[in-house]
A and B are shown apart, each in its own frame.
Chain A
Amino acid sequence: MTRGEEAALHAFVEGRRTALFRSAYLLCGNRDEAEDLVQTTLVKVVLGARRHGRLDNLEAYARRTLVNTFISARRRFWRREQAYGDVPDVAELSVDSDTGLVVRAALARLAPKQRAVLVLRYWEDLSVAATAQLLGMRESTVKSHTARGLAALRAAVREEYV
C-alpha cells in the first residue's frame, strides 16, 4: 500500500468513526459495547484494506463489517441478550429524551437481524435490495423484518410518531 493510500485509510478511519459509532449504538443500545464494536470494525477494515491493497468502497465494507460483527457477536450463545425488566407498553412522550429512551428500548426487544435491518434501511438509508445484499438475505426477508421492526416501534411509540 502506498503512502497516499495509507493516508487515505487514516482519513477514512478518522472521518467515519463518529458515524459508525452512532449506527453501532443503535444496534447495541450500549455505549461501551458500541465503542468496542466500532473499534473491532475499524481494525477489520484496516486489516482488510491492507490485505487486499484496495481502498475502493471502504464505506460499504465498513458498514457490512459493522453489522456482521454485531450479528455474529449476538449469535454466540454466551452473549445472548437477557431481558432484565419490562419497558412500559405505552411510553410517555412528553420530552424528546424520553422518546430516545423508548426507541432504544423498542430496538432492544428486536432480534439482532431485525434491528440491523431497521438501522440499515432507515438510518443508513439503504434500499431493500442493498440491505438484502449486505445481510445476505432475501429481499422478502428484509421486508418482513422491516414490517416487524416498525410494528415494534409503533407498539412502543405513540401512533402519531410512526
Chain B
Amino acid sequence: MNLQEMETERVRELLGRAVDDVRTPRGRGTEAVFAQASRIRWRRRAATTGVTAAAVAAALVLGPGLLDDQGRETSVAGRPTAGELTSRAGRFAKLLPAGTGRISEVSLLRLVKQVPKAPLPKPVGPYDGDYAVSRDGGVGYISVHLSTAKEVKAKTGGLGLQDPCKDSPRDGTVDCTSEKLPNGDVLGIHRTGAPDPGTYSYPTWGPELVATLRLADGGVLHVRANGGFQGKGQLGPLLKTPPLDRDQLRKLTLNPKLLP
C-alpha cells in the first residue's frame, strides 16, 4: 500500500467514525418514497398536462380568434367576460363571483412549457381546463380538472386519495383544511407554499389556493386558483392574491355543474 492509498484509507476511516454513532432513521419507508413520487407526478400533471383539455375545447368553442398557436389571447374584443358570453369560458365565468375578472380559456401546458402542439388529454368534467383571469393589470389562472377513480388509483400507485390534506405532498401544502361533506365527499383546501426549486422546475408562480374534492366514488376534482406565473409564455404580471379566496374557491368547487 503506497502513501496515497494509506491516506485514503485513513480519511475513509475518519469519515466512517463520523457516521458510526448515527442511527439510520426508520421513520419513512420505501412506500413513502413511491407515494410521494406519485403525488408529485400527479400534481405536475394537474398543473400542466392534466388540465390542458380546455385548449382543444377553446379552439372549438371560442374559435381561432381567442387562442393562437402559443395558446395566447389574440383578440381583446373577442375575449369572454363574466356573464356575457355563450362560450364555455363565458359559462364558466357565470359560475364565478362577480368581480373575479375577465375570463378566457388558455392552456397552461402550452404557455408554461412552450409546446404549442402538445397532445391534450380527453376532458372528464364539463369545465375541465385552464382559465385566465385578467384583473387589476395582472393575470391569474383557475384550473379545473376532474380525475376518475380509475385515474386516481393509477396515479397514486393504487393507494387512492383518502384525506386531501393528509395525502397531499408535504412540501407544497400549507394551511390545509379538511371538511367532510354530508354526501361523503371530502373537501381539502390548501395554500401552495414556495416550491423546492430542486424538485419543481417550474417558473415562478404567484400565490395559489388549491381545492381538492375527493368524491364518494373515488374520483377527485381539483380546482386551482393561481396568481399567475413569471417566465416564458406569461400573459401578464402576477396577481397579488389568488383570483379566488377560500370561500369563493370552496363555493366553486362544490358547484355540481363542474361534474358530469
Contacts and interface: CB of A to CB of B under 8 A. Distances in A.
The main secondary structure of chain A at its interface with chain B is helix
B25 A100 contact: no
A60 B108 CA distance: 34
The main secondary structure of chain B at its interface with chain A is helix
Contacts of A76: 197
B115 to A, nearest CB: 16
A96 B27 contact: no
B22 A25 contact: yes
Given A14-B30, A39-B28, A123-B12, A99 B40 contact: no
B157 to A, nearest CB: 9
A47 B155 CA distance: 12
Interface residues of B, number: 31
A143 interface: no
Counting chain B CB atoms within 10 Å of each CB, the highest count among A26, A43, A103, A153 belongs to A43
A35 B27 contact: yes
Give the size category of A's interface with B. 35 or more
A17 B164 CA distance: 28
B30 A119 contact: no
B198 A26 contact: no
Given A40-B196, A44-B199, A50 B19 contact: no
Interface of A: 10, 13-14, 17-18, 21-22, 25-26, 31, 35, 39-40, 42-44, 46-47, 50, 68-69, 72-73, 76, 96-97, 99-100, 103-104, 107, 118-119, 122-123, 125, 150, 153, 157, 161-162
Interface of B: 7-8, 10-12, 14-25, 27-28, 30, 32-34, 36-37, 40-41, 196-199
